[in-house]
Structure 1
Amino acid sequence: MSLLPSSLSLVVLVVEDEPLLRMLATDILEDEGLTVLAAATAEEALSILESRGDITVLFTDINMPGKMDGLTLASHVAQRWPHIRLVVTSGRQGFTNDQLPDDGQFVQKPYRPRQLVCAIAHAA
């Protein structure tokens, strides 16, 4: 049984450098009936964001390789695409929701499927 309203049509961009975690998050969200796009880096995520206008939620890990971490990506998205809701995760750092840009949601790793889905639903 889905935790999301059936009328909710979301496109989620999952940004996670660990392939198994990216696949897990994608599977969890697709099982809820969501459309999911995936990226391994913030740079790849920006390329996807530039090419699509239908993304409604960004779910990003904070600690990633490359020039931009997930928190910087979330801040950039909040400024450039203010309609996109933010959900941020980390296994190394803890945040409260009020420490995140644009009323974002924080999910601590390791997270359970229900925690992720609830954060996405609350963000949307």
Structure 2
Amino acid sequence: MAILDVPNPVVLVVDDEPLLRLDATEALQSAGCTTHEAGDTDEALQMLVLHPDISVLFTDINMPGPRDGMALAEEVHRKRPDVHLIITSGNERPGPAEIPPDGQFLPKPYDMEIVAGIVSGYPARDKLA
């Protein structure tokens, strides 16, 4: 289930809802991840340039600005294919063909233990049922 089995992955959390972004950031930090945050896709692209050690993009689809989270994930996949992608939404359910290669979709509401497990390789498989 884990998309990244390395110690201390660096995760960029992108969500325009501050409380959801904070929840995700805190859960990932508790799981041993280093995190960076962005409130929109433009800020996320800047963070990826400023922090080349980012190894995971965790983004909501519905974002303000010129591109949504799916377009962000596609751009990150083109520019930084080494970055693992977790795409989330409470409103949309993209099909497998819509998600960039090696990306993973996680519907909202999600259990933060599942998010931490996906990113850091902790066993969270039993929570998916």
Change (3 A) 1:7 1:88: closer
Structure ranking higher on relative contact order (CA contacts 8 Å, 6+ apart):
2
CA contact (8 A) 1:97 1:103 kept: no
1:70 maps to amino acid: G
Shift >3 Å, 4+ stretches? 96-99
Gaps of 5+ in 1: none
Partner of 1:18: 17
Q: TM-score, normalised by structure 2?
A: 0.85
Measure the CA separation in 2 of the matches of 1:121 and 1:105. 14
What's the Cα RMSD here? 2.1
Gaps of 5+ in 2: 122-129
What's the secondary structure of 1:21's corresponding residue? helix
**Residues 11 and 54 of structure 1 are in contact (CA less than 8 Å); yes or no, is this contact kept in structure 2?**
yes
Count of residue correspondences? 120
CA contact (8 A) 2:88 2:107 kept: yes
Identity of aligned residues (%): 43
Label 1:120 to 1:95 Cα distance change in 2 as closer, same or farther (>3 A): farther
